[in-house]
């Protein structure tokens, strides 16, 4: 008996709709990352990109546990001396709720060449309207 190894042409990508309303950020992100990687499929192979498309709606209505809304910080640096900027989760959720989910899922994906194509298949929307309705019905 031989071990089955899927070819890139045998990979079928589905579309998943996830409603983020009142869901905890970390638990939601692990579910999204699993679908993007393709670990939920029986023919998952680590060296192939077997994942599906994921559409997340109502990203502005996610929940966090504990005191993370005020204490969790997001940092970025401009590259210049003194260029470190920080913002907390509450501010970032108000300004751009899409970045919160994208950043969280980005940290849960493997750090290799497949990360960028997997993140391209993640579509996040702040409200319940999105342009992928026809693809979800297939």
What does the CA dihedral 136, 125, 73, 66 come to, rounded to 10 degrees?
-70
pLDDT value, residue 123: 97
pLDDT digits (tens, 9 = 90+) for 1-59: 888 888 888 899 999 999 999 999 999 999 999 999 999 999 899 999 999 999 999 99
Q: Residues 130, 122: contact at Cβ < 8 Å?
A: no
How far apart, in whole angstroms, are the C-alpha atoms of residue 74 and residue 62? 17
pLDDT at 65 over 80: yes
Would you call 112 helix, strand, or coil by DSSP?
A: coil
pLDDT at 70 over 80: yes
* DSSP tag of 115: H
pLDDT value, residue 2: 86
Domains of the chain from N-terminus onward? 13-64+94-136 (3.90.1180.10)
pLDDT value, residue 8: 86
pLDDT at 137 over 90: no
* pTM, rounded to two decimals: 0.92
């Amino acid at each position: 008996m031989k071990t089955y190894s899927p070819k890139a042409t045998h990979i079928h990508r589905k579309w998943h709709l996830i409603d983020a309303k009142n869901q905890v950020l970390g638990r939601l992100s692990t579910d999204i990352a699993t679908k993007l990687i393709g670990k939920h499929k029986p023919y998952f192979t680590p060296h192939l990109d077997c994942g599906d498309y994921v559409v997340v709606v109502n990203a502005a209505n996610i929940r966090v546990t504990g005191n993370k809304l005020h204490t969790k910080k997001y940092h970025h640096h401009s590259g210049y001396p003194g260029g470190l900027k920080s913002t907390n989760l509450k501010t970032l959720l108000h300004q751009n709720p899409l970045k919160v989910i994208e950043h969280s899922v980005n940290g849960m994906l493997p750090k290799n060449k497949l990360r960028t194509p997997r993140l391209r298949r993640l579509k996040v929307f702040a409200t319940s309207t999105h342009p992928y309705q026809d693809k979800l019905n297939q």
